[in-house]
């Protein structure tokens, strides 16, 4: 089992019936805005996270596809949990920006994913590639979330 607190919690929930659903509810409570997309964290490991957004009326737009802002919310959630599950203990992060391209209509459930190389964890701007795919695997949104990564302040004793 990992020594990372987020991974420990995820692994503990995952051993339970409905564990992914329970973890996702817990996760969305920590950042309440995420509840608006009813996310389901389907995979979380160091440097990787996947978040499912079910196509439901509350996340669709006027043409009946999953709204890109809902998808961006899912991408940010996946990136955030990946970051919390992965960042070296001596570093901290904060999001700086997001750039996305809409590559296709999201007419089905959408999986938001982030998968990075551990070598990216260095102080300074960190470019985190993100993508969302429909149930056929077609990428519907692709982009980059920029993080500012810095060393944690050393406590004064």
Residue 109 covered by a domain: yes
- DSSP lists the bridge partners of residue 43 as 50
Residue 157 falls inside a structural domain = no
Q: Are 125 and 99 in contact (CB under 8 A)?
A: no
Is residue 156 one of the residues assigned to a domain?
no
| Strand-pair partners of 115 | 48
Q: What is the CATH number of the domain that holds 130?
A: 3.10.129.10
Would you say residue 120 lies in a domain? yes
**Domains contained in the chain, number:** 1
- pTM for the complete prediction? 0.90
What pLDDT tens digit does each residue of the chain (157 aa) get?
457 888 888 889 888 888 888 888 888 777 778 888 889 999 999 999 999 999 999 999 999 999 999 999 999 999 999 999 999 999 999 999 999 999 999 999 999 999 999 999 999 999 999 999 999 999 999 999 999 999 998 766 6
Q: Beta partners for 51?
A: 41, 112
Structural domain including 34 reads: 5-151
Within-domain flag for 106:
yes
In a domain, 130, yes or no: yes
Q: Which residues contact 26 (CB under 8 A, 6 or more apart)?
A: 9, 13
SS3 labels along 12-78: HHHCCCCHHHHHHHHHHHHCHHHHHHCCEEEEEECCEEEEEECCCHHHECCCCCECHHHHHHHHHHH
* Domain presence at residue 9: yes
Q: Is 128 within the bounds of a domain?
A: yes
Q: Which H or E run contains 82? A: helix 68-86
């Amino acid at each position: 089992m990992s020594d990372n607190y987020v991974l420990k919690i995820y692994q503990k929930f995952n051993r339970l019936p409905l564990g992914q659903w329970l973890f996702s509810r817990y996760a969305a409570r920590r950042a309440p805005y995420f509840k608006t997309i009813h996310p389901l964290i389907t995979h979380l490991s160091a440097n990787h996270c996947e978040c499912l957004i079910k196509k439901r009326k509350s996340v669709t737009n006027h043409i009946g596809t999953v709204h890109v802002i809902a998808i961006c919310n899912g991408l940010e959630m996946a990136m955030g949990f990946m970051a919390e599950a992965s960042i070296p203990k001596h570093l901290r992060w904060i999001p700086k920006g997001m750039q996305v391209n809409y590559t296709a209509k999201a007419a089905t459930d959408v999986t938001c994913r982030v998968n990075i190389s551990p070598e990216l964890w260095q102080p300074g701007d960190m470019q985190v590639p993100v993508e969302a795919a429909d149930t056929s695997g077609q990428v519907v949104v692709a982009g980059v979330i920029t993080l500012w990564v810095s060393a944690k302040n050393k406590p004064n004793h």
